[in-house]
A and B are shown apart, each in its own frame.
Chain A
Amino acid sequence: MTDVTIRNVTKRYGALTVIPQLSFKIEDGEFVVLVGPSGCGKSTLLRMLAGLEEISGGDLLMGTEVINERPAKERDMAIVFQNYALYPHMTVAENMGFALKLRKRPRAEIDERVDKAAAILGLGKLLDRYPRALSGGQRQRVAMGRAIVRDPQVFLFDEPLSNLDAKLRVQMRAEIKALHQRLKITTVYVTHDQIEAMTMADKIVVMNEGRVEQMGTPLELYDRPANIFVAGFIGSPSMNFLPATVTTASSPVLKTPEGVELPIDAPQGLAGRAEVTYGIRPEHLQLGESGIPAEVVVVEPTGSETQLYVTVGGREVVAVLRDRVDVRPGQQIWLTPKAGCAHLFDPATGARITG
């Protein structure tokens, strides 16, 4: 086990810069999730860590040692691919023991380590099967088994759950997390799914266009997003954003261009600003007697909650209510934001205003 430091790393393909400059540290034993939209550079970063892509600048460190020039096979990092990349001509046991066989470990040791990993992952009865005779979830487990057997310093996961169906994805999510809690191996996990990121990570790194937008624990990112991008990316359904102008009389008042007043409870940071972007998460809106006037467009009851699609001054807003409500499309309602849950952003830079 070790910590991993990414220091001023850049990646260019000819004239195209994929990662302008990136720096952060992954602590020993930490489960870090790199999350971001397609093309944000998260998989490229993972492949650079694994040694499958060269870095164009900066340094990668394991502990205190720079590993820029160290070939992939000597990095002691095990990678689990999205498509599992199991060797089709080898059985499950051969797949799992392949890395040890290459290192010329004794037969008995290979068998012992394969059996141990198989027991952890519940693969005991499948050891003699070929990958083609396995289901998606089983293949995924074998891919993890192949990584575990190596007992590496770092686990790298490249969207390992994307090829599974929704139910299996939830199950495997929990299994991977449980596995990490058991083995405590430093893990870097790439996904575009923010739910996966929220549920699994010790620390999330939100990436966009090759840059880190914000880094922190899942709840830090949820409660205090650093900018509009993070605010919109973390949370499902996404945060609602409304443009607002600031008018100052005795205290600042926020109004949408259509004249709808938006309640705020802590007006600090608004001095000298004419416009802001007002953000409120769907789950932080409640039905009330006052607040934001809205017209119901669609009602989606899911049983545990009700999603309301409404318009506020002609703009679409989503509210998620835990209670069952009796509202109909076309009805005028009031939405009350929960106290202390509104977020204000600078419309020009997208940065968070409120402290």
Chain B
Amino acid sequence: MTADAEAILGEIRAALPNAAVSLLKNPGPAAQHSLRVGNDDLLRVAAFLRDQLAFDLLSNATGVDWPEAEKADAVAIPEAEAGTAESGFLETVYHLYSTSKRIGPLVLRARTADRGDNACIPSLVSIYRSAEFQEREIFDLYGIVFTGHPDLRRILMWDEFVDHPMRKDYVAPDDYEYEPTPHDDVLEKAKKHYPANP
């Protein structure tokens, strides 16, 4: 049974009046509406959801890259007073379930300030241990820095890798396959990577 995001928003507002939480509507047939939580309040809200509303299972945590903010507003439509999204950003989406009440998913979203050096979101590992590897994966593939994560390292890519391959503007290298006799387009690309024949 899908959690009623609107009712839960009411409970959060009643218990944590200062928390920056707003409802984002999902226009699709799934109608899984989500709650956007401000980064400063993310840990408080997550702890409230876990301890008071019995959302004990953080099933899924994932990153999304939104270089164009309008697209994000089309998928998760903000309420009128909350205002539309700013310039491009990175987002994490969490799917919470309650194993005792058997409801879910409750969708939480947190957004970074930009896609550059301020791409930070507080880590939820202290509240949900299951975020540990998933946040490492988001860090690896999207470059979101989870402040407070106990062991933030690359997990799927190798440690020396630079850049974050799941970003929309990532350009795959063209030297991933060695070509013994390059010609045409491949030759042009190969010139960038291999020294010319003497």
A and B interact: no
**What residues make up the interface of B, taking CB atoms closer than 8 Å to A?**
none
**What residues make up the interface of A, taking CB atoms closer than 8 Å to B?**
none
